[in-house]
Every structure is written in C-alpha cells, then in structure tokens.
Amino acid sequence: MNKKLNQIIGVILILMTVFSLIGCGSSNTADNNESKEQTVLEKIQEKGVIVVGTSPDYPPFETIDEKGNIVGFDIDLANEIAAKLGVDLELKQMSFETIVTAVQSGQVDVGISGFSVTEERKENVDMSEPYLVGGQVVVTTTDSGIESVEDLNGEKVTAGMGSTCEQAANKIEGAEVVSLDDFNMGFIMVKNGTAKAVVADVSVAKDYVANDSSYTIIGEPLSYEETAVITKKGNDDLTKAINEAINEIKESGKIDEFKKAWGVE
C-alpha cells in the first residue's frame, strides 16, 4: 500500500514539474513576443507607404495644379523624404487646423504643410529639424490706400486659421482679424475689397505678387520663424529618421533645387 502511494506521489511531482516548465516557457515566449513589437518606422517600412497630411491651399508650398494633383515645395520635400526612408508617399488632403489632430490620432504618419516651429505646437506634437527659415509679411493691393502696418488699425486682416500667420495678424494693433480655413480665400477677399490685407509667409506672399501685379507687400516682416515636419509625440524612431533624411537632402543640395523650382527663400 505504501509502495503504491509512493508511486502516485512520484507521478504527481513529475507532472507538477512538467507543468511548471511549460508555464515558464509560455511566459518567456510572451516576453519575447512583446520585446519584438515593431516600431512606428518599422511598420511604415513594412507597409511600404508613409501617409502625410497636408493642406494644399498655400502656394508655393502646397497647392493643386490644373490636373488636380497636389504639388509644391513641401510635396517635393515629402517625396524625397519618403525615398530616403525607402517607401512610397501617400498624401491626405485636409484643412490645416486638423492636421495636428490627425497626427496625434495616427490617421496620418506625419504632417508636412508649412508648419512653423512654436512652443505651443511642440506641446502637442514632436517637430523635426527645421528645413526652412522665413517670416510673415503683410500683403495688400496697390490701390488699397494701405502704406504701412499702422494703417491697418480698424481694418479687416485675413489669415489662415490655426497658423502662425494668424498669430502674427493678431499682433497688428487695432486690426480685425478674420481667420479662414482656406488660405487662398484671404487673397480673394483682399482683391475684392472685403478685407484690406492678408498675412502670409514671405515666400507665399512673393508668389502671389509675382503672379498678380495688383498685390504688394508692405512694411518689414512681422515675425521670424522656422518650418519643420510634425510627428506624433513618442515616435522617436520616425522623427530621427526624418531628421537624417532632411540633413541628407540639405547636404546634397537637393533642397536648394526645390527652393529654386518653387521660388522659396
């Protein structure tokens, strides 16, 4: 009887050991799987596509050509960044003020749409190394009677909603700022007299003036700013890869070719 009992106990002990080892093996497998979780950059490269949010109402940075294609300085830059990452580019058109939210939610991988580097913006998203340096200026028409920024006291001034143009416009003493989700509409309002001026990036302003002699730039730039790519906070691998791509594009002289092609300073 005792012998049989001892045999039973021995079998039980062996089974307990086996189950214990199986349990440890499962735990190790789970840990290994967890440690192999893909980074954002790896997911993009595996998919073979980087999705970029942009608002094509800001020529020469991003606009829609006569064939309905989104083109511009930023688009050429985005294509070059995608090539450096070894993936294709997919553009998602959206209003400027929604791009940050789209990046935060993962609806798009990055935002490239003339984003100026600001402390407020850096609280919500990460920003790449700057790829451009510029500023904001005031544009009016040659027959508007506006000769200086001071003349805009009490007048309507338009700017893109959620942009640094809007911030600069709000600093014009006494101006009534009209914020628009379509930046081009600001120039139309100035042209038809429903607004006296529009605040725009210097390259955008010069593009409009070059294509329509009824527009003119007045005064000195209202601000100095740097332009960068925005990424979701915590996507450090992607931001690092974009920084490396931007530096390579600068060093190769490619970015100067884009500037010359689009009249960007």
Per-residue pLDDT of the chain (265 residues; tens, 9 = 90+): 454 545 555 545 555 554 554 454 444 544 544 456 889 999 999 999 999 999 999 999 999 999 999 999 999 999 999 999 999 999 999 999 999 999 999 999 999 999 999 999 999 999 999 999 888 999 999 999 999 999 999 999 999 998 999 999 999 999 999 999 998 999 999 999 999 999 999 989 999 999 999 999 999 999 888 999 999 999 999 999 999 999 999 999 999 999 999 999 7
Instruction: Locate all alpha helices (DSSP H) within the chain, ordered by sequence.
Output: 2-35, 40-47, 73-85, 96-105, 119-122, 164-169, 183-192, 202-211, 236-251, 254-262
For the domain spanning 134-225, the CATH number is 3.40.190.10
Which fold is adopted by the domain 40-133+226-262? D-Maltodextrin-Binding Protein; domain 2 (3.40.190)
Asked if 120 and 139 touch (Cβ cutoff 8 Å), the reply is no
Assess whether the region 40-133+226-262 and the region 134-225 belong to the same CATH fold.
yes
Bridge partners (DSSP) listed for residue 44: none
Q: Which of 67, 93, 95, 66 is nearest to 78 (CA)?
A: 93
Is the whole model's pTM more than 0.85, yes or no? no
Would you list the domain boundaries of the chain? 40-133+226-262, 134-225
